[in-house]
Chain A
């Protein structure tokens, strides 16, 4: 059974179905979209059960010739890292649809267009992680921008058009640099035995060190813009501010992971030597991102921008884990990607509900929500705790692994990065204190608490955060072999110790 293709086709079918509906059938459009994403999520989980976790080869492999003239194949195949990210995408999608049930209403276009874009985006999110052909990856990487662009620009708030354009141009710029690198790889592969875009074949190419460094940079800058890493981050707060909460969740939770996933899959695998050369610089950028994102988060007056800056800090951690070049670091980084997806989803969705009720997302406009809307306040508190990596919640495990993995090779970086955790307590606890606790301020007295739909949407997110905090091994069992394998393929060995299935260093 062709799992990956089926997984990608299902949302397209849903999109076709939704697009044939008349405009007035808004409810039906939502229901079809929700059911489709739910089916995809179930199918995704079913696929995950078929995944052989100790097999480090790519699984669910499919390959068809697409453009033979250029040696381009429609080739799919995933390892543990890609599996986890696909799971993240398909699990978040139904939650986003359910949580943002009414967010398409105020948009420029009809409700059904919103869901058509959303479903097409889901297909591309799966495709970008599943692609096993550099050209195919690039096609998804770039084509994905189009639905997101329209989702931000058409359904967002505030300066949505400007934010959408900024997002698109930043990403396009990075993408075009990557295109130059891809063209170079294609030509060099032609000189060394036949044009191909197969990742494992490209990894065997002999590149001069100058070429390798330049090609690495083409890929890395594209991914650093996507992730985003300081100093390529400036588009993210604007985009997150303008987009609807649901779009923001997919943008920060899944799309930005394409950047960090690309670093593991493409930068390390295709350019191991260049990765080694640039590691010191990237570690520095990652540490700056952690601290800089955290400081700016503390200074934010708006919930959405606050979450965006915390994400910049968290992406610093993920990048640090990747370029520490240890298997703990890689496992931690991959787990971090998953966990960050869920904790950001929780934060964004609840912040979205808060601001749609209050009509503002400014932190100063809230106060004493604990008394008026206890469930919403508790949920936000819980999500905040996850974001600051409280032990017992999922983010703690991954942050710990990243720091351990980094410390074994770059102790100084790990120590500085650890300050990010202290700052995290500030940027989460201060707004929680201002918005949730204390006396209820004017304008907040009549806010309503979460309704049943919202509770159903947020409950699984919080449950995942809690369960993975105590019991991360289902994911780590899948991630660890892949992480160790990717380290080995890049030519590194762990400096000290390996990691066991419980996620504890020996």
Chain B
């Protein structure tokens, strides 16, 4: 008979996640008991309040570091704080976009085109289930990069994924496409989760432990069966790389980005990347650091094909959301070079890049939500022609985000690219730097093409127009734009903060 020991939890360190989970439960209760009329505003306020409160708590514990906050299942350290804060900030701005109910179907269970659907739309009600889903996903995203054992890691992975699968299918228009996206995301996601578990099992077989520290010790000791280690690393990586959309595990990305309601795409593209790369960084920098001879060549090849493939295929895209999806694939490749770097500079650069890229991505998708015709959003790139004439401000802002993606100086993207490539070079991976700059050159082509369409092509009179954004959407656009430019011109305080804070503890 094993004596039961009450787990000792450090509540203040776990508070950010607990607050978000508490908020999530509260929104579920609201969903059940509040009247339909006040639900939208109540849910929105609770969601935003929860996120801001959690952010405040993250700020309060920013100097803490602990491995025992939850019986050794999570680590609170510099990177954990930075990544959690990034997820929360991106989530707040993402919720600003999600608050526009026009993007979401009213009753997700109705058949597309059915009488019930028409009736639900006529009722003028608003879908509010998206708020609890968002909060649960955020909690998962906050747990994912701080988890230090494979079981917690898996729980976090599912916790962030399941709500996202649902959210991808909530689009009001082109519902079949949205539901197809959700199903695809779910099936492939489930498949990759299986790979993740399979890898975790092998790592347990290799080290006799599911904790990252235990695996690290086994790797350092070099006693286990290294075939098990290799298989474990490979399958675990498949599960992780799927979430960031690295080639060849990217197939879901364009379909889901395109099919999901644009605010969900924005939130998912920005915040999931932070969470998933946070977890990848922690696992590879702590557990597998001493086995880098085993995994570095594999990740290098994946990074290279991801960069090149994403950049090349983006060229032929005709849909703005699909183009941004392939661009996000290319960026996943750039980010992988920060993982491969395996040095302090690589960690700092990756965290900076994740935040800067997340901001620009949120902003870009926020602009996509504004360009509409009578049937909803216009995502056909050719119909964006002459946007610079119609709404110079919106077009200029979007062009700035594209220039940031392309890594033009005086935008955050350039500082990110410089820091991540220099870290990779410092670790002796010159090849990845050369491929990286060359694929940036390819990528520049399709970013520039959109700018040409917006500014240098004559206006197409086909009913495309830029709607006047709501205050919240406007806030997202203004904030992301300001941060994108600010981090390009004065990145010093932010870089200093990262480099003084970001150190993994083992």
Chain A interface residues (CB < 8 Å from chain B): 65-70, 108-109, 138-140, 142-143, 145-146, 150, 153-154, 160-161, 164-165, 168-169, 172-173, 176-177, 179-180, 183-184, 186-187, 190
Cβ proximity bits B385-413 to A, threshold 8 Å, 1 near / 0 not: 00011001000000000010010111000
**Contacts A69-B499, A183-B421, A183-B433 given; does A153 touch B452 at CB 8 Å:** yes
B228 within 8 A of A: no
Majority-rule SS of B interface residues = helix
Q: Taking the nearest CB of chain A, how far is it from the CB of B368, in angstroms?
A: 22
B128 within 8 A of A: no
- Residues of chain A contacted by B434 (CB below 8 angstroms): 180
Chain B interface residues (CB < 8 Å from chain A): 348, 388-389, 392, 403, 406, 408-410, 414-415, 417-419, 421-422, 425-426, 430, 433-434, 437-438, 440-441, 444-445, 448-449, 452, 455-457, 491-492, 495-496, 499
Q: Which of A139, A140, A179, A183 has the most CB of B within 10 A?
A: A183
11 contacts between A and B (CB under 8 A): A68-B492, A108-B389, A139-B410, A143-B409, A146-B408, A153-B452, A154-B456, A169-B445, A176-B444, A179-B437, A187-B422
CA distance A161 to B408 in the complex (A): 19
* Contact yes or no, B499 A142, CB < 8 A: no
* Contact yes or no, B425 A187, CB < 8 A: yes
Other than A165-B449, A176-B441, A179-B437, give 8 A-B pairs with Cβ distance below 8 A: A70-B495, A109-B388, A153-B456, A161-B457, A172-B406, A176-B437, A183-B418, A187-B422
- Residues of chain B contacted by A183 (CB below 8 angstroms): 418, 421-422, 425, 433
Residue in contact with A165 in the complex, picked from B426, B433, B452, B492, CB distance below 8 Å: B452
**Contacts A153-B452, A187-B425 given; does A68 touch B496 at CB 8 Å:** yes
Q: Which residue of A lies closest to B424 (CB)?
A: A183
* Contact yes or no, B452 A169, CB < 8 A: no
CA distance A69 to B406 in the complex (A): 23
* Contact yes or no, B495 A69, CB < 8 A: yes
CA distance A150 to B437 in the complex (A): 24
CA distance A140 to B392 in the complex (A): 25
- Residues of chain A contacted by B408 (CB below 8 angstroms): 142-143, 145-146
- Residues of chain A contacted by B496 (CB below 8 angstroms): 68-69
Q: Taking the nearest CB of chain A, how far is it from the CB of B486, in angstroms?
A: 13
* Contact yes or no, A154 B455, CB < 8 A: yes
CA distance A317 to B492 in the complex (A): 42
CA distance A183 to B426 in the complex (A): 9
Residue in contact with B448 in the complex, picked from A68, A165, A179, A187, CB distance below 8 Å: A165
Q: Taking the nearest CB of chain A, how far is it from the CB of B334, in angstroms?
A: 13
Q: Taking the nearest CB of chain B, how far is it from the CB of A251, in angstroms?
A: 17
Q: Taking the nearest CB of chain B, how far is it from the CB of A460, in angstroms?
A: 33
Q: Which of B418, B449, B456 has the most CB of A within 10 A?
A: B456
**Contacts A69-B496, A187-B425 given; does A172 touch B441 at CB 8 Å:** yes
**Contacts A165-B452, A183-B418 given; does A176 touch B492 at CB 8 Å:** no
Q: Taking the nearest CB of chain B, how far is it from the CB of A177, in angstroms?
A: 7
- Residues of chain B contacted by A65 (CB below 8 angstroms): 492
* Contact yes or no, A186 B492, CB < 8 A: no
Q: Taking the nearest CB of chain A, how far is it from the CB of B415, in angstroms?
A: 8
**Contacts A183-B421, A187-B425 given; does A168 touch B456 at CB 8 Å:** no
